[in-house]
Structure 1
Amino acid sequence: MIDLMLVKDMNAVADLWASDGIAEFPFAAGSSPRVLRGREEVRAYLAHYPELMDMKEVTALTVRPTDRTDTVVVEWTATGRTVATSQPYRLDYIVVLTARDGLITLFRDYWSPLSAAAAAGGLAGLIDSLERKDV
């Protein structure tokens, strides 16, 4: 998946999901979705990623097995540049990934919305959306 992201083949990344696979983002904030249901929602979500973030390299990658044979924990760091600002970024991720028959059934991504918004040049918009949100 990371290799496909580096070459910006988002359709191929989405094809790694089971048709009913789920992507969850427990720390999502603002307008970012918390759950994507099914391969096609994942595909739509990823479609414009290369227009926002130009991921150039994965500088760290650790895969940790769990007591379940179908689940791993993946820690990774991506670097690149933000397309809108041309500024460099570094983002850290922790993903709990479950697969069945070679396809992703659950992808729980613990990324930082603050770090991602700052990297994308949208921190002010994220803060504004949080302040407008009804509690």
Structure 2
Amino acid sequence: MSTLSYEQAEQLIQLFADRYIRKDYAAFFNLFTDDVVFEFPYAQEPNPKRLDGKAALQQYLENLGKVLEITSFTEPVIHIAADAPVFFAQFGASGRNLSTGRAYEQSYISVIKVQDGRIAHYQDYWNPLALT
């Protein structure tokens, strides 16, 4: 098991945010392994709690893009796990709920496992009530 540097984690989360905001989805999906696992522990029905693979992630984001537009992310606070290719990122997002027209303000804590420089497992702890 390899470790991860702060600089590697910082670059990965910055690319994640930048590519998502710019809607550069081809480059965004290149940040992930083909068999990436995305988990949403706080998701409520009908939203999934787990996505397996890039295709599932892509479909999820296409559907999400119909109801939510994220326009900015705050500067992340990053914590590196000891002796593991894992980091924790705390950050916020702002945008708009396209269904209601209301502002979207969210705080995230993400646990991200990296394999060969790409995201292999992403646990996304977010507040589902922020979408309402």
Question: Does TM, scored on the shorter chain, surpass 0.5?
Answer: yes
- The one-letter amino acid paired with 1:78 is A
1:32 — aligned with what?
A: 47
Q: Residues of 2 paired with 1:32 and 1:113: CA distance? A: 10
Counting only pairs closer than 5 Å after superposition, residues 12-31 of structure 1 correspond to structure 2 as 12-31=27-46
Larger radius of gyration: 1
Q: What's the TM-score, normalizing by structure 1? A: 0.78
Count of matched residue pairs = 117
Of 39-48 and 12-21, deviating more is 12-21
Which secondary structure does the structure 2 equivalent of 1:19 belong to? strand
1:71 — aligned with what?
A: 86
Instruction: Tell me which of 106, 112, 120 is aligned to 1:91.
Output: 106
Q: What's the TM-score, normalizing by structure 2? A: 0.80
- The one-letter amino acid paired with 1:50 is G
The alignment-based identity, stated in percent, is 27
Q: CA deviation at 1:106?
A: 0.6
Structure 2 regions of 5+ residues with no counterpart?
1-15
Which secondary structure does the structure 2 equivalent of 1:3 belong to? helix
Deviating beyond 4 angstroms after TM superposition, the runs of 4 or more aligned structure 1 residues are none
Which secondary structure does the structure 2 equivalent of 1:12 belong to? helix
2:96 — aligned with what?
A: 81
Q: Residues of 2 paired with 1:28 and 1:68: CA distance? A: 30
